[in-house]
Amino acid sequence: MLCCFVLYLLNTLLYASLYFRWQWNNSLKMGLSISNIFDRILGKQEKRILMVGLDAAGKTTILYKLKLGEIVTTIPTIGFNVETVEYKNISFTVWDVGGQDKIRPLWRHYFQNTQGIIFVVDSNDLDRMNEARDELQRMLNEDELRNAALLVFANKQDLPNALDVNNIREALGLRSLKNRECYIQKTCATTGDGLYEGLDWLSNILKNSSG
């Protein structure tokens, strides 16, 4: 009798667990559906953004300044960070990919379906400007990125030897760039200066693009 009662109790608990899981899944689906409906009504768009640049350019600091509105302690990114940044009815899925030289060949694995590139350059690091240019130009020649808009964050503008926009454009070989939307924005990741101005430009470009 005791064995039968225990089996009955376990059966009851199992069915109850399955029922509540089914109810939970249905609630989640309904919630997602309602969320999708509101997104469509409000005209919200989802865009995939790839943020790259040499190591120590300030990519991860920028990502979390945009995401959290504050400075976080960072370490060199080995692999990637991914966050969703909501801005002006656009949901940016931002992939922040490590910039160390041994990691850069992996950038191409993130190219597919990318609609916008944020290239972060240390405006104060004149010794590595040619290296930054070579990596950027190599990436812009990739077929999968041919339609991606390019936003350059000329970062660390608070430092004394930081290049201005015109010199950054020249140094990165962007003066003769054709058939691609491109904008260079002066930024300081630690204060947030210039970050949202850059996102304004990117938002407007991507809203008007197909897909």
Full strand arrangement of the beta sheet holding 149-155:
80-87, 90-97, 45-52, 116-122, 149-155, 182-186
46: left (phi over 0), alpha (psi -120 to 50) or beta: beta
* Catalytic choice (23, 45, 100, 137): 100
Active site residue 100: yes
> What whole-number distance in Å separates Cα of residue 113 and Cα of residue 120?
20
Query: Residues 153, 187: contact at Cβ < 8 Å?
Result: yes
CA distance 192 to 183: 18
Catalytic residues: 100
